Amino acid sequence: MFAKFTNYQGRIIRLTEERLAHIQEGHPELRGFETTIGETLQHPNSVVQSLTNPHAFLYYRWYDQTAVGAKYVCVVVILLEEDAFVASAYLRDTVRRGVLVWTSSP
C-alpha cells in the first residue's frame, strides 16, 4: 500500500509504507506529517538536485512551526523516467547545496 502525491509539476510521487516507516523511525519529529509531505511536494519553496545523485531531488518548504521550531521540511524524491518516489524526509535549518531547479515566486 502507498500514498500518492502530486508535485508542483503535476507528476505523481509515491510514498510507500516502508518509506513512511523509515521517515517516522529515523525522524520521529515528522510523525503525523504525511499531509505536510504532500504539501511540500506540491508547493515547495525550492527544489534542488543532489550533487551526488542525479536522480535525487530535494523539495524544501519553510514552516514557522514544527515539533522543534521553525524549520524547512525537506522531502527527498527519486525521479526516474518511469517512476517517482519519496526516499526520505526530514527537518533542516537551511537548504542544502545542489543544482537549483525550481524556486517559488517571492
At 34 the pLDDT is: 84
What is the model's pTM?
A: 0.94
Task: Annotate 8-38 with DSSP letters as a single string.
Answer: TTS-EEEEEHHHHHHHHHH-GGGTT-HHHHH
Q: Is the pLDDT of residue 40 over 70?
A: yes
pLDDT by residue (tens digit) across 44-78?
999 999 999 999 999 999 999 998 999 999 999 99
Domain ranges of the chain: 2-98
Per the listing, cell 529515523 goes with 26
At 106 the pLDDT is: 62
Dihedral angle of Cα 25, 30, 31, 34, to the nearest 10 degrees = -120
By the 8 A CB rule, do 87 and 67 touch? no
By the 8 A CB rule, do 22 and 37 touch? no
For residue 1, name the pLDDT band (cuts at 50, 70, 90): low
